[in-house]
Amino acid sequence: MAVKVGIVGAGGMADYHCTGFRNAGADVIALADMAGERARAYAASRSIPKVYDTLGAMIAGEPELQAVSVITPNKFHKQLVLEALEAGKHVFCEKPPALNAAEMAEMAEAVKKSGKVLMFDFNNRARPESQAMARYIKDGKVGRINSAQASWIRRAGIPGFGGWFTTKALSGGGPVIDLVHMIDLALYFMDYPEPAWVLASTFYDFMDNPAFKGPWGMPDTAGGVTDVESACHAFLTFKSGQSLIIRNSWAEMNERELVSVVFQGQKAGGKVERLFGIDGIDATCIDSCRLYLEENGNQVNQDIITEKDETMGRTKTAANFIETIEGKAKPLNTPDQALRLMHIIDGIYESAASKKPVEIK
């Protein structure tokens, strides 16, 4: 029997969720969004039979519903995830998991009680390059990863001014929390070690300059709030002695948009990278995956050629959620990892605010 899924939020990611769920054989039976017009238009375009205003109404109206995906602004993730879990549904939620670690801890507790699946859309883990690299790491070719650098650097990519993305109370923060993917990917490659200390700086330049707006995101909101960082640089250590450097920006004087995880292992180094075209659109990017080795006394660079995935792993992650519910696959990410990630993000913001190193407990 096909898993019955309902989507909450007709945002830009809904299409990837819908396609991924259907690719895995699930039925997308309903959509909930209070923006009636947008929701009805989207549902009609993807033949989703029912539209509701709220998650509560969808749960009440669809007794067969087994799983819910949450694609709303970050502020609403926790309450919707808890509501769905309490109603006995499996949940797939967009990234970031929540506004902070305290919210994520509530979700982690709730999912344990429910016995259901809770996954987040850390879609970059499902990219073919990432999975190819993860396989080399798992097979022992890289050895222990001593150090890594996670970067999602936009030169001019503020996702609109004054909307929910730039309002800390609704988003939780700027590029640290929005472009969290490479931090998560580096931690995934490093096997999610226990963090020890973080030292971070955040910067707020260009947050009122239209020349630094990206080609994606939302229309500007006149009189809206813009109180999140435009860039962050951080150094993180782990109890194991490993370390991670983080660079995330929406707006910073860099050469171009660059998205990568680079690491140095005890047997080999490596890099997973996405170079965006000048327009910053996924379809024009160049993805690569490379290992740095020593063989027969020679220094060797090894390119790993993988299939192209313009969805950046988004449809594969949604499909993995369905396969996990069905017991056909292991989840690509877990609530415990999401909690560790949110503790790191809290530590980054705390260190930047206090201008001191912060111990992550």
List contacts with ligand NAD (CB under 6 A): 8-13, 32-35, 38, 54-55, 71-74, 76, 94-95, 121, 123
For the bound state, the minimum distance from the C-beta of residue 276 to ligand NAD, rounded and expressed in Å, comes to 13
Please report, in angstroms and rounded to a whole number, the separation of the first and last CA atoms in the chain. 44
Hey, is 52 helix, strand or coil? strand
C-beta closer to ligand NAD: residue 73 or 162: 73
CA distances from 31 to 16, 38, 262, 303 (A): 14, 11, 39, 42
For the bound state, the minimum distance from the C-beta of residue 237 to ligand NAD, rounded and expressed in Å, comes to 28
For the bound state, the minimum distance from the C-beta of residue 262 to ligand NAD, rounded and expressed in Å, comes to 21
For the bound state, the minimum distance from the C-beta of residue 306 to ligand NAD, rounded and expressed in Å, comes to 19
Q: Which residue is nearest to ligand NAD (CB)?
A: 11
For the bound state, the minimum distance from the C-beta of residue 180 to ligand NAD, rounded and expressed in Å, comes to 9
Of 160, 183, 175, the C-alpha closest to 228 is 175
C-beta closer to ligand NAD: residue 32 or 259: 32
C-beta closer to ligand NAD: residue 116 or 314: 314
For the bound state, the minimum distance from the C-beta of residue 243 to ligand NAD, rounded and expressed in Å, comes to 27
Hey, is 294 helix, strand or coil? strand
The two tokens of residue 120 are 């987040």
C-beta closer to ligand NAD: residue 55 or 107: 55
C-beta closer to ligand NAD: residue 95 or 340: 95
The Cα 289–Cα 302 span in angstroms is: 9
92 CB contacts (<8 Å, ≥6 apart)?
17, 67, 68, 69, 70, 119, 120, 121, 318, 321
Chain-centre distance for alpha carbon 290: 22
Of 320, 248, 259, the C-alpha closest to 26 is 320
For the bound state, the minimum distance from the C-beta of residue 138 to ligand NAD, rounded and expressed in Å, comes to 24
Beta bridge partners of 234: 200, 246
C-beta closer to ligand NAD: residue 38 or 290: 38
The Cα 327–Cα 321 span in angstroms is: 10
C-beta closer to ligand NAD: residue 214 or 357: 214
Hey, is 85 helix, strand or coil? helix
